[in-house]
């Protein structure tokens, strides 16, 4: 059984299925290999299951059933032989197994991921409707209780934590810590940070959440390290970072935390320092080739990738912790700053940010296998100065915005 599709409610009696790549009705060329359709949706009350039946020349009819979770969301993927004249029938059912939506279309499915296909399912006995989306996509989740920017985020045991930040044009950092549970689409308040900070870094290791550095005030850099234990909802102060910094990239590889770049006492920093939670000690590592801050960062196959930033907005570098060395990689296709990012689906994903002083919805994906960037599905809301965390293969972009209008927006990206 595949996991469920995500459906999006519309105002007409229609269920729409969206997928990708030149998927045109009618005849088309034959293709070899498999076509992948990745589905998502947010259903109205009453829809409990969805089925998709796919048939066509040179393939057996394949039927897939998907359930809807307690929040009304579902997502999943199907793989069928690629080719022309693929007939897709979609049906939605209520809890009693009664068919409530129905529709079909004939399309050409290309080999590989087909991200943009559209299927219309009409409601049989109501004026409601649903949209099923395929390919990579963003969708809204419950907003944070606290609107803020310049915060940190990290995931631990499938829970996403929003930490610190500030509420606008102020030099006072927040101590607020809020936890988002994707399975219930809900937030809870957790024990406050020992001290208020904005632009800190955060990451989890072995069941403990670590918050590192940040701004303790205007032009006051922090070297504080705090560890949060979710089982007791308590914080413990750890060995301080040797170099006080803010807005650095913070990641972990094989249980070691790396604090990379950021802003030091008065300017950008190339400093890289590694923290071992097992011994509560720090070590200096090879410096970054360029000083940069507010970068997107993630770990893919044991290699750390950092990209973009306020000081060198098109730079991409890879750090090998084993060799303690840096390598320049393909530059970003556009200059973006004030953004965040994380690794999901084997790629480094950036979220929003600002370009030319304007917040954008642009999302870029770096694939280390081919050393190349591509543009993927945009965020729903243009914003920067947000935080990003990845939980269970989904990337969450939290809060952000300009000082004059901070937001509590929570959007999720399904690659």
CB 295 within 8 A of CB 311: no
For the chain, give the mean pLDDT: 86
Q: Can you list the domains of the chain with their CATH numbers?
A: 7-135 (2.60.40.2550), 139-414 (2.120.10.80)
Q: Using the predicted structure, report yes or no on whether residue 63 has a pLDDT greater than 70.
A: yes
pLDDT single digits (tens) 217-242: 988 999 999 999 999 999 999 999 99
- For β-strands 15-18 and 129-134, DSSP reports them as parallel
The angle formed by the CA atoms of residues 133, 139 and 145, to the nearest 5 degrees, is 165
pLDDT single digits (tens) 70-128: 777 766 778 888 888 888 888 888 888 888 888 788 878 878 776 556 666 778 876 66
Q: Is 202 exposed, middle or buried (0-12, 13-18, 19+ CB in 10 A)?
A: buried
Q: How far apart are CA 245 and CA 66, in angstroms?
A: 47
| CA neighbor of 103 nearest in space, from 117, 90, 115 | 90
More confident site: 315 or 91:
315
pLDDT single digits (tens) 261-311: 999 877 899 999 999 999 999 999 999 999 999 999 999 999 999 999 999
Q: Using the predicted structure, report yes or no on whether residue 192 has a pLDDT greater than 50.
A: yes
Classify residue 166 by its DSSP letter: B
Q: How far apart are CA 353 and CA 310, in angstroms?
A: 10
Q: How far apart are CA 309 and CA 324, in angstroms?
A: 22
Q: Using the predicted structure, report yes or no on whether residue 4 has a pLDDT greater than 90.
A: no
Structure tokens at 48: 């409990």
Q: Using the predicted structure, report yes or no on whether residue 376 has a pLDDT greater than 70.
A: yes
Structure tokens at 67: 């359930």
Structure tokens at 339: 């953004």
Helix (H, G, I), strand (E, B) or coil at 41: strand
């Amino acid at each position: 059984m595949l996991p469920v599709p995500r459906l999006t409610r519309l105002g007409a009696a229609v269920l729409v299925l969206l997928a990708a790549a030149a998927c045109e009705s009618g005849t088309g060329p034959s293709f070899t290999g498999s076509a992948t359709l990745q589905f998502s949706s947010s259903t109205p009350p009453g829809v409990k299951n969805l089925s998709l039946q796919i048939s066509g020349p040179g393939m057996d009819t394949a039927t897939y059933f998907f359930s809807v979770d307690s929040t009304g969301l579902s997502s999943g993927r199907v793989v069928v032989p690629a080719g022309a004249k693929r007939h897709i029938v979609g049906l939605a059912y209520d809890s009693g197994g009664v068919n409530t939506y129905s529709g079909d279309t004939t399309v050409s499915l290309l080999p590989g991921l087909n991200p943009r296909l559209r299927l219309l399912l009409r409601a049989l006995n109501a004026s409601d409707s649903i949209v099923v989306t395929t390919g990579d996509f963003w969708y809204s989740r419950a907003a944070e209780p606290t609107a803020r920017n310049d915060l940190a985020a990290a995931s631990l045991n499938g829970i996403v934590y929003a930490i610190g930040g500030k509420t606008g044009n102020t030099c006072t950092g927040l101590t607020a810590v809020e936890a988002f549970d994707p399975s219930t689409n809900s937030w809870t308040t957790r024990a406050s940070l020992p001290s208020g900070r904005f632009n800190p870094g955060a990451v989890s290791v072995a069941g403990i959440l670590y918050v590192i550095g940040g701004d303790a005030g205007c032009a006051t850099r922090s070297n504080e390290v705090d560890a949060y234990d979710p089982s007791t909802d308590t914080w413990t102060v750890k060995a301080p970072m040797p170099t006080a910094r803010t807005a650095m990239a913070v990641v972990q590889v094989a249980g070691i935390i790396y604090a990379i770049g950021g802003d030091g006492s008065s300017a950008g920093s190339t400093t890289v320092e590694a923290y071992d939670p097992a011994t509560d000690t720090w070590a200096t590592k090879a410096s970054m080739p360029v000083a940069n801050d507010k970068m997107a960062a993630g770990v893919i196959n044991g290699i750390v990738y950092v990209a973009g930033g306020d000081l060198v907005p098109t730079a991409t570098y890879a750090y090998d912790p084993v060799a303690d060395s840096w390598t320049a990689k393909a530059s970003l296709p556009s200059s973006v700053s004030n953004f965040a990012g994380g690794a999901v689906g084997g790629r480094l994903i950036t979220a929003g940010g600002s370009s030319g002083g304007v917040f954008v919805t642009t999302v870029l994906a770096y694939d280390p296998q081919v050393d190349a960037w591509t543009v993927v599905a945009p965020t729903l809301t243009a914003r920067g100065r947000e935080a990003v965390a990845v939980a269970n293969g989904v990337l969450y972009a939290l809060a952000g915005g300009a000082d004059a209008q901070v937001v509590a927006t929570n959007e999720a990206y399904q690659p």
